[in-house]
């Protein structure tokens, strides 16, 4: 009975993760469809302002309660990092294929893994180092420097992956002090405030249709983060993480069918290598957490 119950939870988690992937592919597709009609900072600003509407029930009570000075510092730091990340991401979406953006984006958890070892004292054992190396090799397969000219969009997406990874590291610290929902809400607020000067500096009057499309981006992004949270609550990461690779498959199909982009086998191969490495790291960490630990000598005598 317990096995059946766990299997059911695993299937529910996979279902939520499939929905997560679909939502994020929709986000990428809509932004790609705008084709840089609005400056990247302005498009990101409008998206986050609309997103604040959904987060208001969490945001308003949190602001009324206030935060300590160290927490405000972490909130501001994450907001600055995310401003850089989303601006670079919006720019990359207007320059390179949906599949390439998705594949390079798989570098995010690798950046988090390396950053946690460098700045948070987490151990980086030989197997994890090898997995990180495979992931970086996968990124090189996607980019193929020297075999083709690199577009500024490729470099922009690499920068976005690094900035997103750094932002998630700060979020990890924040989540130890304030609820996760408040972390998300304050991130959206600080990013909107941080992008405001950049948006004003290069403001292009948006059409009603563009605002509606960016509104849909906010809806799908919010839904994606919610469904991801449900997936993590329903099943272990070792079950849900491999499903992430389907985002690359769906993104490639959208690129081919909707935007008439070429299907690049190298992007699929490199993305698969990165997801394989990420899945291994996730599985390895789960095994280490689940491993029984020998109690100290006094405890065995109790």
144 versus 197: which is more confidently predicted? 197
The 8-class DSSP code of residue 38 comes to S
Q: Are 19 and 247 within 8 A, CB to CB? A: no
CB neighbour list of residue 90: distance below 8 Å, 6 or more residues apart: 31, 40, 41, 43, 44
**Quick one: pLDDT at residue 180?**
77
CA distances from 5 to 2, 11, 18, 231, 279 (A): 5, 10, 20, 15, 23
pLDDT per position as a tens digit, 87-106: 999 899 888 888 888 888 88
Q: Where are the domains of the chain?
A: 2-31+39-289
**Quick one: pLDDT at residue 158?**
93
Q: Are 157 and 28 within 8 A, CB to CB? A: no
Instruction: Give the orientation angle of helix 152-175 with respect to helix 69-93, to 10 degrees.
Output: 160
pLDDT per position as a tens digit, 116-136: 777 777 776 777 788 888 888
With 0-12 / 13-18 / 19 or more C-beta atoms within 10 angstroms meaning exposed / middle / buried, residue 229 is middle
Nearest to 89 by CA among 20, 10, 34, 146: 34
302 pLDDT band, cuts 50/70/90, is very low
**Quick one: pLDDT at residue 3?**
59
Q: How many C-beta neighbours within 10 Å does residue 225 have?
A: 15
| Tokens matching residue 259 | 């935007």
- Angle at Cα 161 formed by Cα 167 and Cα 239, nearest 5°? 85
């Amino acid at each position: 009975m317990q096995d059946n119950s766990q299997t059911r939870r695993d299937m529910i988690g996979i279902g939520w993760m499939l929905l997560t992937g679909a939502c994020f592919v929709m986000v990428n597709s809509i932004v790609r469809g705008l084709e840089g009609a609005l400056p990247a900072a302005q498009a990101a600003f409008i998206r986050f302002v609309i997103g604040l509407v959904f987060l208001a029930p969490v945001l308003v009570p949190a602001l009324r309660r206030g935060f300590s000075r160290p927490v405000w510092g972490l909130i501001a730091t994450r907001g600055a990092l995310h401003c850089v990340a989303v601006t670079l991401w919006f720019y990359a979406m207007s320059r390179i294929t949906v599949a390439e953006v998705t594949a390079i984006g798989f570098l995010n958890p690798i950046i988090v893994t390396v950053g946690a070892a460098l700045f948070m004292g987490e151990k980086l054992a030989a197997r994890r180092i090898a997995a990180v190396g495979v992931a970086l090799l996968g990124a090189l397969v996607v980019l193929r420097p020297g075999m083709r000219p690199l577009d500024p969009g490729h470099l922009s997406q690499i920068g976005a992956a690094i900035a997103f990874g750094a932002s998630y590291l700060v979020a990890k610290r924040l989540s130890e002090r304030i609820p996760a929902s408040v972390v998300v809400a304050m991130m959206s607020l600080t990013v909107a405030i941080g992008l405001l000067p950049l948006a004003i500096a290069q403001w292009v009057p948006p059409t009603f249709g563009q605002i509606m499309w960016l509104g849909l981006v906010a809806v799908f992004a919010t839904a994606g983060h919610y469904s991801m949270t449900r997936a993590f609550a329903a099943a272990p990461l070792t079950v849900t993480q491999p499903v992430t690779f389907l985002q690359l498959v769906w993104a490639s199909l959208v690129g081919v069918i909707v935007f008439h982009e070429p299907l690049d086998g190298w992007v699929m191969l490199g993305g698969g290598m990165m997801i394989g490495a990420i899945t291994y790291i996730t599985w390895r960490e789960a095994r280490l957490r689940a491993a029984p630990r020998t109690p100290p000598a006094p405890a065995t005598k109790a």
